Amino acid sequence: MNDLPKNGESSTSISHPKEGSIPLYLVNGVATVWDAQVAATLHCVHNISGLRAGTLPGVSQQNGFLGLPLTLMREETAYLVEQGIAHLIPLPSFPTLPTTEEISQHTSKRIEKIRKLEQQAREAEEERQKLSSQAFEKGGEKARAKREARARAKAEKERAAREQGGDGAFGDDPAPTVPAPTTAQVQDPSEEGTVQSSAIPTGSTPKDTAGYFQTIPSHPLIPSSSPVQPITSLPLPLFPFSATQRDKALLGVFTNLQHKGYRMGLGPRFGGEYLIYPGDYLRYHAHFTSQVIVNDEPILPSQLVAWGRLGTGTKKAGLICCWDDRAQIGKEGREEGVEKEDGGVEYYSLEWANFG
Amino acid sequence: MSVPQPSAEAGPSRSKLSTPRKAAHASGNAPSSPAQNDEGEGDNPRTDLSAVAATPRGTGGDNEGEEEGDEERMDIKLIQSFADKIQHLPSSSDADGITSRSKIIIPRRGEKDFEPLSETVNLQEMMLQKSREALFNALVGVRGGNSKSISHAIITPSNPYPKMLIIHGHLFDTIGMSIRYPTSEKDLQKGKSKGYSQTELLPEEALYLLERGTLQIWMSNDLTEEEKDKGYGEWSDEEYGVKGAVEMSVMDGFGTFIGRDGLSWERYQAYAYMKRLGYTVQRTRHFIPDHFLFDPLPSPPKEPARDPDALYPGMQPFHTWWLNLPKWIAGLFRYVGRNVRNVVGRISRVGLSSDKRFKGTLLEGWTGDSYKSIFQHLRLIPQGHSQPLPIRPSPAPESLRTKYDILLHNPYLPFYHIWKPSAPFTKRGWDKGSESGLRDYPPTYWAGVVESRSTPIPTIQQLDEIFNIVPDEPKGPVKKVGPQYVRPPRPPRPANPNNKNNQTKPPTYLQAILQRLGVSTKEDKPSTPFVNIPAIRNGDRAFIVAVNDSGNTGWVRFGRSGFAEFAPV
């Protein structure tokens, strides 16, 4: 995954515990993904979608569609790590700073790069100015006639206004102004939207140039010289998930459903642990809302009613996932068999029906 | 007691995504694809083949999606509309070998055993592929902007609150706090003033601006005096950056700021959610880090105290005897009134042949003359929010190591103050959430943030603790401020001639006499007691809670209202 482009930025090199293992960055107990290509791989190959949690660059004033980083559910993270698909890299609570030499090296590189960018911008501007003046000249008789007619009309109007108003407030030059590109127009069209607040330069940034596109990097620019030990097994203090029996049941059900080809989404909005999709959520609605039952946990009739009605009310079926840890223990000792196939999870779907 | 209501009432409700969706429909710039035909028409496109057939777009499609509630399944056109808008590197930087648009490879799965059974399967595959392309092309955006609009800050290991070096834009009208520092000895000798102030950022503010692409944070080691004199840690035009520092990546930013000063993922996401919608969000005074509240040079009060009560809340207000005169008069009237009522009650009881028949019942000892007094007599448990609650042990003060540990005992405590975008706000007036600042600039909402999977519903003690600190809800009709309430002006309606007939006629002579005698037929209808339902629903005190499920933020409002205050009898 590492050799794939990373949003047009320099990539960090990470020592992989396993060839092709995906790095997930652990921030305060939550695994995050910072690369669109990794997100695509997880989504399409491993059936893990996560949740986009970052402000979308360019469309930053809305919550309807967010961008990177992707945050993963606890179950998703534990599943990926347990299956050996990914490993966790805990991010430090303060980044380790590069050495002075590295900084000065990086600084000189940046200076070189930006000088080049500025040079290009200047050339591009000159080119554009030349082109626009050419276009202005070459506009042909028709365009000129139009322009002149417009200017005449304007002058006419102003004269009329002056005569009416009598105060001569409109004393401007009626001649058409040449549309010279001002610095404001030179801004690249792709930046529209981000620069929503009008910039008031209070600092000491150079004002003679049009400026350049400054990237806020998503990955560290200088890879840390002391690599962090990647995590390949769970649970551990930084990521305590799947320590309790309930967690184990959740993970067991999640893994089992994944193997059956289902995809899981966040369920609490619909009153369950997971929303269960029969495939990519881009294509399907969820079919089930899960309720995970551990071992012989009793079910009250009122719970059944609630789950059944909830499922029907949201056009889904309730799915009761009964997880039995005794079956898990038995499974390990046994060879291939029926128990192995169902993974110690029994499923019952619940639908609300009536007579007539 | 408390009425948790869905967020629709609370104001900051989940955005319905209506704008981008509509925009996509109107402009129609999404690539023409078979997906257009599948606007969430059937619940399951796999079985609902008719929806896939080339029929014109159904009009009911959107309604179906609305009913479904949250955006459970995404629409390709919606995704595409966002993918079209994201920010890429300008093409001019191609020269350094950096591609401006990295091409995402959408992995295809099971292509080997792909077997086109019919045209529809093919179509579905293509649709899915298109949706995925749109989705992941929307993720390749690059943060940043024109160098002239980017602000800069510096962070060092000894001060993890980024210090602003260059400020651009109006976002900083509501972000960042200024801190006063004493001038160092050396600078004092140079004749500089005794203190200087600089703007520093809270963790959530820094992270929000960083990931928005508006702020570049520079990381540097702690600087010695010598290095400072050489210009390290300051912006340098020649270096196009901060001297001796390196840019902080957004990933580093998340690692650095989340988990600091009580900023959990949930609290950050609630903060960013409101900020993206344009609200002004500040921490409540209790949760502002001490670093920001510490003032090494307490400046003398600039203006004479306007309200001594507010400045010294512990002091008894100034009283003289004549201020009590109205109270005494009212007391006298109450006393007289009570005596009169007692006498009347006694007389009526005599009429009811004494209260002996209540002997042995719950009503024994009842001396009243109204239904209300009966109910009051029967009541075993006192009602109303003024009554003290059964006492629960409060956390031992020594168990609270930091000021954020109180949140372990009551995670619902308001962490943020939120102002509507239309509400007036200035950082100076807000005064870091001081008492007078909140009085002058009252926040629209007090908001707590909880994690949904592990946090139980608040106990009555937890709620009471919060209701005791939040201000009273504004009385009267809701003030509707904002563009969504502005109605297009209606043409004046011609006066309805029927209205004249509806006017009440003056009572006839006979009716007037009957009314005076008290036997009018008008009074026949039993008047139902007036209950102010909106007031009950709203409550007298309220706060909102951001409920976060693995990154999905929903909003819930808790209001306090008591039926004792709105008794209809």
Multiple choice CATH, B1-18+265-300+400-475+530-569, 1.10.150, 1.20.120, 1.10.3470, 3.40.1350: 3.40.1350
- What burial class does residue A34 get, using C-beta atoms within 10 Å of its C-beta: 0-12 exposed, 13-18 middle, 19+ buried? buried
**Residue of B104, B160, B273 lying closest to A40 (CB–CB):** B104
Question: Domain B151-260 in CATH: superfamily?
Answer: tRNA intron endonuclease, N-terminal domain (3.40.1170.20)
B62-91 per-residue burial string, b: 16 or more CB within 10 A, e: under 16: beebeebeebbbbbbbbbbbbbbbbbbbbe
Domain ranges of chain A: 1-96+224-239, 244-356
DSSP per residue, A68-126? EEEE--HHHHHHHHHTTSEEEEEPPSSPPPPPHHHHHHHHHHHHHHHHHHHHHHHHHHH
Q: Find out whether B30 and B436 touch, Cβ atoms under 8 Å.
A: no
Residue B474: Cβ within 10 Å count? 11
Q: Find out whether A326 and A349 touch, Cβ atoms under 8 Å.
A: no
In this predicted structure, what is the pLDDT of residue A42? 92
Among A93, A73, A77, A25, smallest CA distance to A233 is for A77
Angle between helices A325-333 and A245-259 (to 10 degrees): 60
Q: Find out whether B152 and B165 touch, Cβ atoms under 8 Å.
A: yes
Indicate the SS3 state at residue B536: helix
Give the whole-angstrom CA distance, residue A260 versus residue A266: 18
Q: Which residue of B has its CA nearest to A41?
A: B107
Contact B152 A203 (CB under 8 A): yes
Q: From the candidates A281, A316, A340, A348, which is the catalytic residue?
A: A316
CA distance B209 to chain A (A): 10
CA distance A313 to chain B (A): 9
Contact B247 A282 (CB under 8 A): no
The residue length of chain B stands at 569
Residue B152: Cβ within 10 Å count? 23
Q: Find out whether B140 and B88 touch, Cβ atoms under 8 Å.
A: yes
Cα distances from B249 to residues B15, B421, B460, in angstroms, run 29, 30, 44
Contact B138 A94 (CB under 8 A): no
In this predicted structure, what is the pLDDT of residue A39? 92
Average pLDDT, chain A: 76
CA distance B381 to chain A (A): 30
Interface test with A, best of B221, B249, B553 (most A CBs within 10 A): B249
Residues 175-194 in A contacting B (C-alpha not used; CB under 8 Å): 187-188, 190-191, 193-194
Per-residue model confidence as pLDDT tens digits over B501-533: 545 555 566 666 656 655 545 445 556 667 777
Give the whole-angstrom CA distance, residue B533 versus residue B392: 33
Per-residue model confidence as pLDDT tens digits over A175-224: 444 444 444 443 444 433 333 333 334 444 444 566 788 888 888 888 77
Contact B146 A211 (CB under 8 A): yes
Give the whole-angstrom CA distance, residue B553 versus residue B12: 11
ipTM of the complex: 0.74
Q: Find out whether A17 and A232 touch, Cβ atoms under 8 Å.
A: yes
Residues of A in contact with B278 (CB under 8 A): 61
**Residue of B72, B165, B255 lying closest to A285 (CB–CB):** B72
Q: Which residue of A has its CA nearest to B126?
A: A283
The values of phi and psi at residue B544, to 5°, are -115, 155
Contact B168 A93 (CB under 8 A): no
* Residue A25 annotated to the active site: no
Interface test with A, best of B105, B235, B246, B263 (most A CBs within 10 A): B246
All residues at 6 or more sequence positions from B530 whose CB lies less than 8 Å from its CB, including other chains: B568
Residues of B in contact with A214 (CB under 8 A): 144-147, 150, 216
Q: Find out whether B504 and B451 touch, Cβ atoms under 8 Å.
A: no
Task: Show the tokens assigned to B494.
Answer: 């011609």
Task: Show the tokens assigned to A319.
Answer: 């799915």
All residues at 6 or more sequence positions from A262 whose CB lies less than 8 Å from its CB, including other chains: A276, A277, A278
Residue A24 contacts B where some CB pair is shorter than 8 Å: no
Q: A49 or B495: whose pLDDT is higher?
A: A49
Among A284, A290, A248, smallest CA distance to A266 is for A290
Task: Show the tokens assigned to A115.
Answer: 């000088």
Residue A49: Cβ within 10 Å count? 23
* Residue A277 annotated to the active site: yes
Per-residue model confidence as pLDDT tens digits over B211-248: 999 999 999 888 888 888 888 888 888 888 888 888 99
Per-residue model confidence as pLDDT tens digits over A306-317: 888 888 888 888
- What burial class does residue A165 get, using C-beta atoms within 10 Å of its C-beta: 0-12 exposed, 13-18 middle, 19+ buried? exposed
Indicate the SS3 state at residue A9: strand
Q: What is the Cα A210 distance to its own chain's centre?
A: 30
Give the dihedral of Cα atoms B458, B459, B463, B466; nearest 10 deg.
-80
Among B85, B546, B552, smallest CA distance to A51 is for B552
Q: From the candidates A116, A277, A331, A347, which is the catalytic residue?
A: A277
In this predicted structure, what is the pLDDT of residue B328? 67
Residue A169 contacts B where some CB pair is shorter than 8 Å: no
User: Number of CB pairs < 8 Å for A and B?
Assistant: 346
* Residue A16 annotated to the active site: no
Q: In B7-48, which residue ranges form alpha helices assigned H by DSSP?
A: 7-10, 18-27
Q: Percent of chain A at pLDDT above 90?
A: 17
As averages over each run of 10 residues, the pLDDT of chain B (569 residues) reads: 42 40 38 37 35 35 39 70 80 46 62 48 77 87 87 91 91 90 74 80 94 91 82 83 88 92 93 94 92 70 44 45 64 69 58 63 81 82 78 77 88 94 89 89 93 90 91 75 70 58 56 59 59 81 92 90 72
Q: What is the Cα B428 distance to its own chain's centre?
A: 22
Among A72, A32, A12, smallest CA distance to B253 is for A32
Task: Show the tokens assigned to B243.
Answer: 């001297």
Angle between helices B203-212 and B265-276 (to 10 degrees): 60
All residues at 6 or more sequence positions from B551 whose CB lies less than 8 Å from its CB, including other chains: A30, A51, A53, A71, B265, B269
- What burial class does residue B158 get, using C-beta atoms within 10 Å of its C-beta: 0-12 exposed, 13-18 middle, 19+ buried? exposed
Among B283, B551, B531, B527, smallest CA distance to B419 is for B283
Residue A36 contacts B where some CB pair is shorter than 8 Å: yes
User: What are the helix and strand counts (H, E) for chain B?
Assistant: 22, 14
At CA B263, angle to CA B11 and CA B168, rounded to 5? 75
**Residue of B19, B251, B277 lying closest to A219 (CB–CB):** B251
Domain ranges of chain B: 1-18+265-300+400-475+530-569, 31-137, 151-260
Q: From the candidates A116, A157, A285, A348, which is the catalytic residue?
A: A285
Residue type, A327: A
Asked whether the predicted pLDDT for residue A127 surpasses 80, the reply is: yes
Angle between helices B76-83 and B18-27 (to 10 degrees): 90
Contact A25 B44 (CB under 8 A): no
The residue length of chain A stands at 356
In this predicted structure, what is the pLDDT of residue A344? 79
The fold adopted by the segment(s) A244-356 is Trna Endonuclease; Chain: A, domain 1 (3.40.1350)
Between the two ends of chain A, the Cα-to-Cα distance in Å is 57
Residue A39 contacts B where some CB pair is shorter than 8 Å: yes
In this predicted structure, what is the pLDDT of residue B516? 63
Contact B102 A6 (CB under 8 A): yes
In this predicted structure, what is the pLDDT of residue A336? 40
Per-residue model confidence as pLDDT tens digits over B332-356: 777 766 666 666 555 555 545 455 6
The verdict on whether omega for the bond into residue A235 sits within 30 degrees of 0, i.e. cis, is yes
